[in-house]
Amino acid sequence: MFTTRPGYTHHTHLLESVWPHGLISSVALTAAAAGSETVLWLLSQCWSDVLLVVDAGGATLAHVTALSGRANVLCFLAKAQGSTMLAAKDASGRTPAHCAAQRGHVDALRVLVEQLGGTDVQNAADGLGRTPAHAAAEHGHIAVLRFLAECLGTSALTTVDTKRFTPAHVAAMRGHVGVLQLLGSEQEALLTAVSADGLTP
C-alpha cells in the first residue's frame, strides 16, 4: 500500500478501493512514458511514494521517461525526488542515461547531464560495463554520440566495457558505418582500439 499524504486519506481510500496498488503503479509508469507530468503530480499529491514505483525489471519512472524521451518529466522527477532517481540502475544495471541514449533522445540526455553532471553520465556502466555511448553506438544514434562528444569531450567515446569493447566496436558489430565515421572524425585512434580478444572495430 502506498503512503498517503495528510488530508488525502479519505480520497485515497476511495481510490484504492477502485485502484489497487498494482494499478496505481501501472498508471504512474504509463503517465511517465506518455510524458504526463500533470498525472504524475496528481498521483503524488495523494500517494507520497508513488514516484518511487519500479517495474518488474527494476526500471524507475526515470528509466521509463528517458526511454520515451520525455525531458519535461525528467525535470519534474528531479525536482520532486532529487537527482538520485535519475542515476538509479535497473536490474541489468542500466541508468536512465542508457535508456535515453539507446532511443536517441538527445533532449532527455541533456537534462540528465545538467542534473547529474557529465562525469556521472559518461561513466555510468551497466552490468556488462557498457556506458550510454555504447548504447547510442549499438543503435546507430549519431546525434547522441555527437552530443556526448560536444558536451563531455571525446573521452565519453573511449569508454570500454568488461570485454574492452569501445563504442566503435559495438557500432562495427551492428554495421553502423555512419557512427564509425563520426567516431573516426572525433578521434582516429577509436577505430584501432583493441578489445580483450584482440579485435579492432
Instruction: Give the span between the Cα atoms of 38 and 93, in whole angstroms.
Output: 29
pLDDT at 24: 82
Question: Residue 108 is placed in which grid cell?
Answer: 532527455
> Which tens digits make up the pLDDT trace of 23-40?
888 999 999 999 999 999
Residues 108, 150 share a domain: no
Which residues on adjacent β-strands are paired with residue 47?
4
Instruction: Give the span between the Cα atoms of 13 and 52, in whole angstroms.
Output: 20
Domain C-terminal end among 124, 154, 178: 124
pLDDT at 173: 96
Instruction: Give the span between the Cα atoms of 201 and 191, in whole angstroms.
Output: 6
Question: What is the sign of the dihedral through the CA atoms of 146, 147, 151 and 156?
Answer: negative
- Yes or no: say if 122 and 152 are a contact pair by the CB < 8 Å rule: yes
pLDDT band at 4 (very low <50, low <70, confident <90, very high): very low
Residues 195, 106 share a domain: no
Residues 32, 47 share a domain: yes
Count of beta carbons in the 10 Å neighbourhood of residue 198: 7
78, pLDDT greater than 60: yes
Q: Which residues contact 62 (CB under 8 A, 6 or more apart)?
A: 32, 74, 77, 85, 86, 88, 96
- Yes or no: say if 168 and 135 are a contact pair by the CB < 8 Å rule: no
Residues 150, 110 share a domain: no
Structurally, the chain folds into a number of domains equal to: 2
What's the predicted TM-score (pTM) here? Answer: 0.88
What is the extent of the structural domain holding 11?
Answer: 1-124
Please report, for the domain that includes residue 3, its CATH number. 1.25.40.20
